[in-house]
Amino acid sequence: MSLWDTQIVGHFIDDHPILLRHVERVKWDDITLPSPTVAELLRGRSEFALKATPEQIVAAHQRLWQTQQLIARFRQSSITEKDASVFKNLLSRIKSKKRYADMMIAAMALAGNHVVVTRNTKHFVDLLPPAQLANWVDEPPR
């Protein structure tokens, strides 16, 4: 199973050609949005919708609705107790609150032996072994 980070979802929305070639090669059910990715996607859209000016309000709420519909197309996975335990171990090793979402996704990958799909591989190299990390934007399928 592959766990997508937030940036990969953005490339999917933009129909990135290399990403779409990867998607064609896997079963749709093997692509998963982990709950930290879902939270990040909704947070940005929700904050904008709640703070929109009268001129922005219709478009802001339409984008929020479109994001919810997009998320619903994907399989989603929430953090389990096992994931939380791995996350706690990562936190004891990496002391950066700025990386919480990345560490949560990495914990889910480690606990479930999944692959994280990200363009930001540098955010994960100290968290995951190379076999559990994939860049479906810059690296064409083989």
Which sequence spans correspond to the domains of the chain?
2-34+77-134
Say what the pTM is: 0.92
Structural fold of domain 2-34+77-134: Rossmann fold (3.40.50)
- Tens of pLDDT, residue by residue over 16-61, are 999 999 999 999 999 999 999 999 999 989 999 999 999 999 999 9
Quote the percentage of the chain above a pLDDT of 90.
92
Two tokens, residue 62: 């339409």
The per-residue pLDDT of the chain, averaged, comes to: 95
3, 108 contact by CB (below 8 A): yes
- Beta strand 2-4 with 115-117 is parallel
Distance CA 74, CA 58 (A): 25
Mean pLDDT across the stretch 119-139?
96
Q: How many residues does the chain have?
A: 142
Read off the pLDDT of residues 88-105 as tens digits, 9 standing for 90 and up: 999 998 877 778 999 999
DSSP helix, strand, coil percent of the chain (3-state; round to 5): 60, 10, 25
